[in-house]
Amino acid sequence: MPSVAVKLYSVFFKLLLKHRLQSLISISPDHAPPDSFGVSTRSDESVAAANPSFADGVATKDIHIDPMTSLTVRIFLPESALSPTEPRSDRRHSLTPPLNHSSSPAAPESRRNSYGNENLEPYGGYAPSPKRSSRKLPVMLQFHGGGWVSGGSDSAANDFFCRRIAKVCDVIVLAVGYRLAPENRYPAAFEDGVKVLHWLGKQANLADCCKSLGNNNRRLNGVELKKVNVQGHIVDAFGASMVEPWLAAHADPSRCVLLGVSCGGNIADYVARKAVEAGKLLDPVKVVAQVLMYPFFIGNNPTQSEIKLANSYFYDKPVSVLAWKLFLPEKEFDFDHPAANPLAHNRSGPPLKLMPPTLTVVAEHDWMRDRAIAYAEELRKVNVDSPVLEYKDAVHEFATLDMLLKTPQAQACAEDIAIWVKKYISLRGHEFSY
């Protein structure tokens, strides 16, 4: 059984969560006009500031990727990305990050971006060097939990979790700050997930384009590249200024993994379906696997766990129903909605046999566990690699909730995820390179 501390904290947590949900219901009736820009975090939640230097082995930065909405992404870049592609005799020098914390004039290399543009302003964090040989790391899109209405890519708990995942899996994590309900109901969060996937593909294509332009620039001396100076910044043709240098220098989008936590698991599964539908249109992005951590599934016909554990810890069934009422439009409210039930009869998209390998994490004392297990079983029936990791004495969000993040069980869960994920992100012939 969970500890006494977990039980007491669960009671306190559910009271606060229920109060928040009821407040959101009272101030946001269904007939109110939607806020298309929306919010991606709540003002009353603790957040962690981005840190572009490798203070604890992971550098972070925030990017607002859609000017029309609040959609953001926090990039988690592990320091291992700075390792050379080939072994060197002096590892100490090869692992030293090129940081520039002062405002004094930097050396020529540190005043260039990864495409050779000079005269850039000093950046108080990690800046990729075009002369440094570095590794290309897989990319993991992470969708946080919070019952559709809370949490965020920059929340303190999510920041800690993503740093841990970036290090143990040795991947670049893109934590998606999707729009929250009730300001933006279904399908806003799902559409934001797909939008980030396409944004990642655009970044990869722009990076490849800029590399070619960079080579031509040396030969043409800037005649065809047509650089212009805008407020001290160099802007290349074809949108080179839009390229995210961390991803251009270190990301390998052909090894992309989706990871969803709680309601984020529902988003991840939807994004995986859209990736299968898009096929080669997403190139060079390829979704090779997904991880669903205690997904927020529900349905009209209750499972055994939904009956026996309805009043379980943290996100019990009554509280979760309130969250669904805030997320689904009133006219679409149905527990067999495709966003809620992955095995609903009206689920659209590709057949299950085309879904990527799927790891499902469930907790013994989570009322949603049976439906997640049933989905994994259906995937296995059509020969999709879909194992289930069930953790004894665990509760919903046992590996991602703030007070449980530092428990041995949470650490073990991250390591178990890493072991499975590396089957699909390791380069062939280098399975132990991670």
Active site residue 337: no
Q: What is the DSSP track for 18-30?
A: HHHHHHHHHHS-T
362 SS3 class:
strand
Active site residue 366: yes
Comparing CA positions, the residue from 163, 149, 183, 375 lying closest to residue 264 is 149
Comparing CA positions, the residue from 74, 397, 406 lying closest to residue 265 is 397
- Packed helices 188-220 and 263-278: angle between N→C axes, nearest 10 degrees: 50
Give the span between the Cα atoms of 268 and 281, in whole angstroms. 19
Q: Which of 10, 262, 305, 386 is catalytic?
A: 262
Query: Is the bond preceding residue 2 a cis peptide, omega within 30 degrees?
Result: no
Q: What is the dihedral of CA 142, 148, 154, 159, to 10 degrees?
A: -50
Q: Which of 170, 269, 316, 366 is catalytic?
A: 366
Active site residue 396: yes
Asked whether the beta carbons of 291 and 213 are under 8 A apart, the reply is no
Give 230's strand partners. 233
Residues 6+ positions from 45 with CB-CB distance below 8 Å: 150, 151, 152, 155
Asked whether the beta carbons of 74 and 50 are under 8 A apart, the reply is yes
Asked whether the beta carbons of 396 and 364 are under 8 A apart, the reply is no
Residues comprising the chain, all counted: 434
Q: Say which residue the tokens 């599964």 belong to.
A: 269
Q: Which two tokens stand for residue 323?
A: 């969250």
Give the span between the Cα atoms of 52 and 281, in whole angstroms. 32
Q: What's the CA angle centered on 42, arms 176 and 273, to 5 degrees?
A: 30
Query: What sign does the CA torsion over 215, 216, 219, 222 have?
Result: negative
Residues identified as active-site: 262, 366, 396
